[in-house]
Amino acid sequence: MKNPFKKILDMKDKATDTPEQEAIDTPIENLENQGDNQKASENTDTNAVQELQKQLEESRNKYLYLFSDYETLKRNAARERLELISSAGRDIMAALLPILDDFDRASKNNALSEGTALIHQKLAHTLKSKGLNSLDAKIGDEFNADQHEAVAEIPVPSDDAKGKIVDILEQGYTLGGKIIRHAKVVVGK
């Protein structure tokens, strides 16, 4: 025998499948608990999102700080490399200056042969092509402590010669715009 209520029960099961029907069939206490649960889960979701945003911001700040440090390191390394190259050239030039001085003294005393004079000119030209320049101190110029080194002071007959260069013992030189040796001069007092 067939159950006459089976058709009605089947219809009721189909009707409770809809969310509206479930809301109607659910007791009010259960609905309040669901609302509280949703609020709690929304709060935890909001807190989690805020925490992730905070971590993201911290990571960005760390990245920017490290990137800035890296760029500074690159600039400093490039500057140090250039200084090393220029200082290496400066050391070589400074080592060759006494030889150039000896040639200059010999040429002033007419003690150079023609071949030696050519070697002197070639050495001077080579050093100049590498950036070595003379300070061009001349007798009668004002003494300048930035370019000249006074090795002696001698009395002079006139007041016009006081504080001026009387004699040049060694010429001063610059390399790349920096003084590598001051001119050694005698100053009138």
How does pLDDT run across 8-18, given as a tens digit for each residue? 556 555 555 55
pLDDT digits (tens, 9 = 90+) for 76-129: 999 999 888 777 778 888 889 999 998 888 888 887 788 888 888 899 999 998
Contact 157/184 with Cβ under 8 angstroms? no
140 has pLDDT over 80: yes
Give the helix ranges, DSSP H, for 109-149: 114-129
Q: How many CB atoms lie within 10 A of CB 145?
A: 8
Beta-bridge partners for 179: 174
**Half-sphere exposure (Cβ direction) of 60: Cα atoms closer than 13 Å:** 6
Cα dihedral 115→117→119→125 (10° resolution): -150
List the domains of the chain with CATH numbers: 27-130 (no CATH), 132-189 (2.30.22.10)
